[in-house]
């Protein structure tokens, strides 16, 4: 398999690009530095990807896990507030953790990743719609008190979004408090706040 080796090189280059760009940003890193980090010469980088921009785009295509967000929607809802919220939390944080370097790049250099700017808006929007719908149905089932479902969805998601970003940025809060404990406590709070 001649193409096996070629692919391996490409992957190493893309991973080096992601690592370095997530730290220093697109403009903060040179093609030379990326290639050396991956263990190759700069020339090889340009032979595989024609430009720095295309390298990033290829890396994004290969190493972003946008689709997995959809899995969440297909998970089985138990219509038990605590259980369902826990499931949403766990799935969400797993995806955020997988994508953390990409998220950093997108925050630093959104302009260079048109696809990502879109994704960072689209996916949370879908998630918000999903949760809003869930709260509405729970309201119909009289399993939660009368609240604005959309605002509750936003509050819940932002809490997890904030926590995920904190973890990505190595917030010292997560050195003493573990994510799982945090999730349990916060879901408990939401459950108690919403249960009739």
- What residues contact 169, with CB distance under 8 A and at least 6 apart? none
Binding mask 105-144 for a second copy (x = CB under 8 A): --xxx-x--------xx--xx--x----------------
Question: Is the sign of the CA dihedral 168, 174, 179, 185 positive or negative?
Answer: negative
Q: Nearer Cβ to a second copy, position 24 or 43?
A: 24
- Residue 171 φ then ψ, to 5°: -55, 125
The entry of a second copy, DNA, none near residue 53 (CB within 5 to 8 angstroms by kind) is DNA
Shortest Cβ 108–a second copy spacing (Å): 5
How is residue 36 annotated by DSSP?
Answer: H
Compare residues 61 and 125 and give the one whose CB is closer to a second copy. Answer: 125
- CB 17, min distance to DNA, A: 11
The 10 Å CB-count burial string (b at 16+, else e) for 126-144 is ebbebbbebbeebbeeeeb
- What distance lies between CA 53 and its chain's CA centroid? 22
Binding region for a second copy (CB under 8 A) out of 11-19, 57-65, 87-95, 155-163: 155-163
Q: How far is the CB of 176 from a second copy (least distance, A)?
A: 8
Long-range contacts of 177-186 (CB under 8 A, 24+ apart): 179/93, 183/86, 183/89, 183/90, 183/93, 184/86, 186/89, 186/159
Helix-strand-coil split of the chain, %, nearest 5: 80, 0, 20
Residue among 48 and 93 whose Cβ is closer to a second copy: 93
Q: Interface with DNA by CB under 7 A: which residues?
A: 1-6, 8-9, 29-32, 39-44, 46-48, 50-53
Q: Is the Cβ of residue 21 or residue 163 nearer to DNA in the bound state? A: 21
How far is 156 from 136, CA to CA, in rounded Å?
Answer: 14
The residue ranges that bind a second copy (CB under 8 A) are: 24-25, 27-28, 107-109, 111, 120-121, 124-125, 128, 145, 147-148, 150-152, 154-155, 157-163, 165-166, 169, 171-173, 176-177, 181-182, 185-186, 188-194
């Amino acid at each position: 398999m001649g193409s096996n080796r070629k692919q391996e090189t490409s992957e190493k280059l893309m991973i080096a690009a992601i690592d370095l760009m997530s730290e220093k940003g697109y403009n903060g890193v040179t093609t030379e530095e990326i290639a050396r980090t991956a263990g190759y010469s700069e020339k090889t980088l340009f032979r595989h990807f024609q430009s720095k921009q295309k390298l990033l785009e290829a890396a994004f295509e290969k190493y972003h896990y946008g689709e997995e967000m959809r899995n969440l929607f297909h998970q089985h809802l138990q219509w038990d507030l605590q259980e369902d919220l826990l499931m949403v939390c766990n799935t969400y944080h797993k995806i955020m953790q997988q994508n953390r370097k990409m998220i950093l790049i997108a925050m630093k250099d959104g302009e260079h990743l048109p696809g990502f700017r879109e994704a960072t808006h689209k996916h949370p929007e879908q998630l918000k719609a999903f949760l809003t719908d869930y709260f509405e149905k729970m309201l119909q089932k009289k399993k939660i008190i009368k609240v604005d479902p959309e605002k509750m969805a936003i509050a819940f998601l932002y809490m997890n979004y904030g926590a995920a970003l904190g973890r990505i940025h190595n917030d010292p809060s997560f050195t003493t408090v573990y994510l799982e404990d945090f999730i349990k406590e916060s879901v408990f709070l939401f459950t108690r706040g919403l249960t009739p």
